[in-house]
Amino acid sequence: MSRLATTLCGVSLRNPLIAAAGTAGYGPEIVEVIPASRFGAITTKSITPESRAGNAPWRVTDLPGGMLNAIGLANLGLERFLAEALPELEAIDSVMIGSIAGHSIEDYVEVAGAFGDPTSAVLQLVELNVSCPNTSKGRQFGDDAGLLAEVVSAAKAALGSKPMLVKLSPGSADLPGLAVAAVRAGADGLTVSNTVPAMAIDPETRRSRIGRASGGLSGPAIHPLAVRLLHEVRTRLMEEECLVPLVGLGGVLSWSDAAEFALVGATGVGLGTALFIDPRSPRKIERGLEDWVRRQGAANLQELVGAFEP
């Protein structure tokens, strides 16, 4: 068995690398470019009950430290996702994670109910996106511990026994506190974290470089922030005796970025912007991690998870 094989909330992954929500299409789009076998898991775009066209262009702009996006949760909507995209996922040789988003508790419950149904068995895990900064109300659940607990427990009840990750927002004031609230409400694992709310302005036009005033920053600029947040979240969960598996996400371009996440306690490592920059990055990161594990004298990556010492 590979030194990188891992388990996320009871689901076996061939390696810790997870294609991040919204950067891999519904799944089939990414595997046209990168073999599914490079990933431990692939996350779908976030699905809402109704189809969404998303925001006006431009939706993405390159910045020196990464990308600013304001996609606005463009997706097929639940009914078409189930009818058109889901059947194609069976052919993908990777664990599939269904991402859920919404504007109300009812929205999350509706999608969670469908993803928990036996007809959606191809989705072995789900991820609750409570942190999208690109919709008028998209962040409300991720910013308030009470609301977050409400949406997590309602979604979990609708989902049933399937494991559920909750994806937190780095823009929230007390992320460790929100993490504890999510776990106490039923999150089986946490993804830390989503894009960072940010702005980029063209001085000549005096207007935003994207179709709305602000968007979400991803890529290398946010990596050190995400590493700190994951470290703080894990520390608090351990203090509160409610540690769950964690996925580190934000700015991973190289094996050493992924290794940092593992050291502060991530069992899964998400890749988003890296997939746009270099389709070979998952393979390079996998090889680099394998060599690092060997150099560290560890039997496998799991031995190094949480091995950070200040």
Ligand X SMILES: Cc1cc2nc3c(=O)[nH]c(=O)nc-3n(C[C@H](O)[C@H](O)[C@H](O)COP(=O)(O)O)c2cc1C
Among 11, 164, 210, 249, binds ligand X (CB under 6 A): 249
Among 17, 18, 34, 67, binds ligand X (CB under 6 A): 67
Select from 26-34, 203-211, 271-279, 281-289 the region that touches ligand X (CB under 6 A): 271-279
Count of residues engaged in binding ligand X, rule: CB under 6 A:
29
Please pick, among 132, 182, 237, 252, the residue that the annotation labels catalytic: 132
Overall size of the chain counted in residues: 310
CA distances from 184 to 200, 240, 243, 281, 289 (A): 37, 10, 10, 36, 33
CA distances from 279 to 54, 141, 150, 202 (A): 25, 33, 38, 30
Nearer to ligand X, 256 or 296 (CB): 256
- List for the chain the helix, strand, coil content (%; round to 5): 35, 20, 40
CA distances from 16 to 11, 43, 138, 180, 262 (A): 11, 13, 28, 23, 9
Interface with ligand X, residue 222, by CB under 6 A: yes
Interaction mask 171-210, ligand X, x per CB under 6 A: -----------------------xx---------------
Cβ–Cβ < 8 Å for 9, 163: yes
Nearer to ligand X, 192 or 309 (CB): 192
Cβ–Cβ < 8 Å for 65, 195: no
The pair of three-digit structure tokens given for residue 1, joined into one six-digit string:
């068995």
Among 4, 9, 18, 71, binds ligand X (CB under 6 A): 71
Select from 48-56, 69-77, 173-181, 260-268 the region that touches ligand X (CB under 6 A): 69-77
| 9 included as an active-site residue | no
Nearer to ligand X, 20 or 301 (CB): 20
Interaction mask 10-49, ligand X, x per CB under 6 A: ----------xxxx---------------------xx---
Cβ–Cβ < 8 Å for 19, 97: no
Select from 203-211, 237-245, 266-274, 298-306 the region that touches ligand X (CB under 6 A): 266-274
Apex 252 CA angle, 290 and 24, nearest 5: 100
Cβ–Cβ < 8 Å for 287, 256: no
User: Which amino acid, one-letter code, is at 305?
Assistant: V
Interaction mask 273-292, ligand X, x per CB under 6 A: xx------------------
Q: Which residues are catalytic?
A: 132
Residues binding ligand X (CB under 6 A): 20-23, 45-46, 60, 67, 69, 71, 73, 99, 129, 132, 167, 194-195, 218-219, 222, 249-252, 270-274
